[in-house]
């Protein structure tokens, strides 16, 4: 699953929510898609989309099954939202969001680890992974990326000296 954003507010009286997403486009979410909301750490509850309307490039106003009041919607505010990989596959094939689970391979050091998460800082994307027992952040910028192999799920990079020591 891919974390695409979080629920930031309730909207209207019918239980709609506003999802702030990091997909970059606002045409990927459709009726009957499934959103997974992380209600508790590691507990992903599926919600079927009953309606989705783009508010702007970063936000959707979404209705989901079984959430039909402001009170029910407010319980979801602040929760992280995930989707299965296939929902985004047609919309953001080259998006770093699709690289979660890929192996990161350095040109000189070899295998570094599996990308656990990707976060957007606004200016760039960062990959989060465990390396030698600690969490490291790797900038996913064109200058460092040598190859992205979506078929075999790995990214080959030329990491600067000392980056993994920070």
Q: Is the pLDDT of residue 34 over 90?
A: yes
Q: Does domain 96-165 have CATH number 3.40.30.10?
A: no
Can 2-89 and 96-165 be said to share one CATH topology? Answer: no
Q: Which sequence spans correspond to the domains of the chain?
A: 2-89, 96-165
124's torsion region: left (phi>0), alpha (psi -120 to 50) or beta? beta
Does residue 164 or residue 63 have the better pLDDT? Answer: 63
pLDDT digits 0-9 by tens, 132-142: 899 999 999 99
In the CATH scheme, what architecture does the domain 2-89 have? Beta Barrel (2.40)
pLDDT digits 0-9 by tens, 86-108: 776 655 555 677 788 899 999 99
Distance of alpha carbon 143 from alpha carbon 131, whole angstroms: 21
């Amino acid at each position: 699953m891919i974390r695409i954003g979080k629920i930031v507010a309730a909207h209207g009286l019918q239980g709609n929510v506003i999802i702030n997403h990091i997909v970059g486009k606002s045409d990927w979410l459709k009726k009957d898609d499934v959103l997974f909301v992380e209600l508790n750490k590691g507990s992903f509850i599926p919600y079927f989309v009953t309606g989705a309307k783009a508010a702007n490039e970063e936000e959707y106003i979404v209705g989901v099954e079984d959430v039909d009041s402001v009170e029910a919607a407010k319980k979801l505010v602040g929760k992280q939202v995930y989707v299965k990989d296939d929902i985004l596959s047609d919309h953001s094939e080259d998006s770093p969001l699709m690289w979660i689970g890929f192996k990161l391979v350095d040109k000189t050091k070899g295998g570094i680890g599996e990308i656990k998460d990707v976060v957007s800082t606004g200016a760039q994307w960062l990959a989060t992974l465990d390396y030698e027992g600690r969490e490291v952040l790797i900038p996913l910028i064109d200058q460092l990326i040598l190859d992205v192999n979506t078929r075999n799920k790995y990214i080959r990079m030329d990491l600067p000296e000392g980056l993994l020591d920070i």
